[in-house]
Amino acid sequence: MKFVPNILKAFLINLCFIGIIFASETCPSISPKIAGDTPSEQVKAITNDVVCSFIKLQLDNNGTIASTLNLTKKKIIPYIDLEYSTEMALGSYWNQLNSRQKKIFERDMKNSLINEYVGILSDLAIWEDIKITVHEDFIQNENLARVKVSLSLVDENSNATVVLMLIRKNRWKIYDLVYQSISIIDIERIGYDSKIKRQGVEKLIQKMLKKS
């Protein structure tokens, strides 16, 4: 089951309950724009849309790095609240930044997620065998929500469960993923904190701009 953590990270972008189970039979997917508005309904629509899109990519024999990158930008990134994810990852540093600096860090977060996981998505050849179960008993506190998602392979008994963290502004979007108490935002926060303490904000920003 080593594939599970990689898929889960990739869904957050990196961008994959005792409730509704779906696999490739439910494709084509229902767009989150017309799905129900509860956090669990939105998570079901988002994960279904992502899986169906990658299944189609493989059926078209077009699972190259370039096509996977394009699909990731189109089908995963829009479901992530990158601004809030970056704010959470930077912690107390966020309020010290001006609007331009915030956008630079936000872009760095997006590029980091894409660069780390797009290769995993491109190499994955088992999209049709993925079974996802979205738990209906989500937890919501005003505009924040937690939804459990279980993943397994068809005909396998073992599975993995993660918690997707969502925030609602104009719509529900994912901002973090927790797997076995490990949060992707926590990992990013440690990385940014270490770099800022070593280099300072301005020097780190300059390095980010050179990479872009």
CATH class of 3-211: alpha beta
Tokens of 114: 């894409």
User: Tens digit of pLDDT for each residue in 93-137?
Assistant: 999 999 999 999 999 988 877 776 655 555 555 555 667 778 888
Model pLDDT, residue 28: 62
- For the chain, domain boundaries: 3-211
Cis previous bond, 28, omega within 30: yes
User: Tens digit of pLDDT for each residue in 170-192?
Assistant: 889 999 888 777 888 888 899 99
Model pLDDT, residue 170: 86
- What average pLDDT does the structure give for the chain? 76
**% of the chain residues with pLDDT over 90:** 29
Beta bridge partners of 164: 147, 177
pTM of the model: 0.76
Closest C-alpha among 127, 138, 109 to residue 20: 138
